[in-house]
Amino acid sequence: MDKLKIRGGKRLQGTLDVAGAKNAALTELCAALLAAEPITLSNVPRLQDVSTMLKLIRNMGVTAEHDDDGRVTLNAGGLNNPEAPYELVKTMRASILVLGPLLARLGLATVSLPGGCAIGARPVDQHIKGLKAMGAGIQIRKGFIVAKIVEG
């Protein structure tokens, strides 16, 4: 078994650049759908899932630019399309994260059920249960989660 032995008593100093985290970036990109004004995120990694999420939210009417320095500038003021189609959702399970923000901003959302996952089953039922608990009407129709704000 490998060991890591640490001998203390010496002050640590220096700097370290921390790489952006994909899963944090994906949730932040979806959360940006909640705001109608421009938002800038820093340290967003250039990864396929991030590119896919940007493509998905652009498809919904959001403007998004990913600069070479890792900054992403988003403006969801033009958000006008409450649908996340299968062609964009199938490759990335994190696409389900647009469901709540779309519902909050537009009062409805249609998000394709995500495709299979190489690391096993990871159902989206917790998202559905949470939104239902907050009063959303949710139905599954032809492979899509259809969510609406229920007036009550």
Active site (catalytic) residues = 117
* Segment (H or E) for 103: helix 99-106
51-63 burial by CB neighbour count: b if 16+ within 10 A, else e?
A: ebbbebbeebbbe
Strands 63-66 and 72-75: antiparallel
d(C-alpha 7, C-alpha 150), whole Å: 60
Tokens representing residue 104 in the block: 């909050």
Which of 70, 87, 84, 86 is CA-nearest to residue 30?
Answer: 84
Region label for 23, one of left (φ > 0), alpha (ψ between -120 and 50) or beta (otherwise): alpha
